[in-house]
């Protein structure tokens, strides 16, 4: 290790913010674990690119995603959590205390670590998609479908999540236009069957999105049939992307047990990872629910698991 690196030891280090990280910080601070939390590249996580949140309990009028994350952060700070800017760039979990490098120059050592680095939605990479993100472009139908009741919408994707979200949207939207890049879906046969039997879902095979149309909000979408080269413009009010999520777990890939998609594996019913004293919560280990409220719940679990682990460790010493 280079001698010019700063080093600091903490009892509990939380990597990542968002509902999971901040909830873990609230519980850990109240348990007097003096947690230090590094916020990562996107303080507040995916909710900071979400506009209206209406399905989080306790906000009867709804709340803006970024505002909710500010509330979470303020609460964690008030409880005594030490919240800092900074990105974990590498980890050394080969011996205890665990070493975590922040911004490539500061080394933190910790008796226990909670990982709450989240996941990032995969996007198509269109400039119009990024420009209208939050103005009718969304990567979460369950979060935002409600705002487009009775409207026509587009969903892009061909897996189980896309099929599930298309069916979810079909219950509240007028028409759902499902764009599938190939001549078949990757979704399970039962999900495909449900989609094909739903009268207000129209599937566009061999199709890709050229552009999302609209100045300040989504007004339509331009598609290309990659077999016939024919272009189609569909007037819609929302554009949902359901081509998957990427867990932010790269720095842990040779260190912890991950599944084939890169999600951190945890012991069922707990936040424990394959290494003792390392816990994971939120979207970095949850590919099923991916909601703010479930992430917060798992952050609570991680703090309680970490508290039990540290208490047992002290008792044994």
Active site residue 173: no
Per-residue pLDDT, 1: 41
Architecture of the domain made up of 6-120+245-316: 3-Layer(bba) Sandwich (3.50)
Instruction: Choose between 237 and 161: higher pLDDT.
Output: 237
Q: How many Cβ atoms from other residues are within 10 Å of residue 236's Cβ?
A: 26
Active site residue 300: no
Q: State yes or no: pLDDT of 161 exceeds 90.
A: no
Q: What is the mean pLDDT of residues 163-187?
A: 96
**Residue of 71, 82, 140, 160 marked active site:** 140
Rounded distance, CA 237 to CA 223, Å? 15
Per-residue pLDDT, 3: 46
Q: What is the tens place of the pLDDT at every residue in 115-160?
A: 999 999 899 999 999 999 989 999 989 889 999 999 999 999 999 8
Q: State yes or no: pLDDT of 282 exceeds 90.
A: yes
Q: What is the mean pLDDT of the chain?
A: 94
Per-residue pLDDT, 5: 64
Active site residue 143: yes
Q: What is the mean pLDDT of residues 256-266?
A: 97
CATH class of 123-241: alpha beta
Residues of the chain with CATH 3.50.50.60: 6-120+245-316, 123-241
pTM of the model: 0.83
Q: For residue 294, give the 3-state DSSP assignment.
A: helix
**Residue of 143, 152, 281, 305 marked active site:** 143
Q: What is the percent of the chain with per-residue pLDDT over 90, rounded to a whole number?
A: 85
């Amino acid at each position: 290790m280079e001698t010019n690196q700063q080093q600091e030891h903490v009892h509990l280090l939380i990597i990542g913010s968002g509902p999971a990280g901040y909830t873990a910080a609230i519980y850990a601070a109240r348990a007097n674990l003096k947690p230090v939390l590094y916020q990562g590249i996107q303080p507040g996580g995916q909710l900071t690119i979400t506009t209206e949140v209406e399905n989080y309990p306790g906000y009867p009028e709804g709340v803006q995603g970024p505002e909710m994350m500010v509330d979470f952060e303020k609460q964690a700070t008030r409880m005594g959590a030490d919240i800092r800017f900074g990105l974990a760039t590498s980890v050394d979990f080969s011996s205890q205390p665990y070493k975590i490098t922040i911004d490539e120059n500061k080394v933190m050592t910790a008796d226990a670590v909670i990982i709450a680095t989240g996941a990032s939605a995969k996007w198509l990479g269109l400039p119009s998609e990024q420009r209208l993100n939050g103005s009718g472009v969304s990567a979460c139908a369950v979060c935002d479908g409600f705002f487009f009741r009775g409207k026509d919408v587009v969903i892009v994707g061909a897996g189980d999540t896309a099929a599930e979200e298309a069916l979810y949207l079909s219950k509240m939207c007028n028409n759902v236009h499902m764009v599938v890049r190939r001549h078949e879906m990757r979704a399970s046969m039962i999900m495909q069957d449900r989609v094909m039997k739903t009268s207000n879902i129209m599937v566009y095979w061999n199709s890709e999105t050229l552009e999302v149309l609209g100045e300040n909000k989504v007004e339509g979408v331009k598609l290309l049939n990659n077999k016939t080269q024919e272009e189609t413009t569909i007037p819609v009010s929302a554009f949902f992307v359901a081509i998957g999520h990427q867990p932010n777990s790269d720095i842990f890939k040779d260190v912890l047990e991950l599944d084939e998609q890169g999600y951190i594996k945890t012991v069922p019913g707990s936040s424990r990872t394959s290494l003792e004293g390392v816990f994971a919560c939120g979207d970095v280990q949850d590919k099923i629910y991916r909601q703010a409220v479930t992430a917060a719940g798992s952050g609570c679990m991680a703090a309680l698991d970490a508290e039990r682990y540290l208490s047992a460790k002290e008792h044994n010493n």
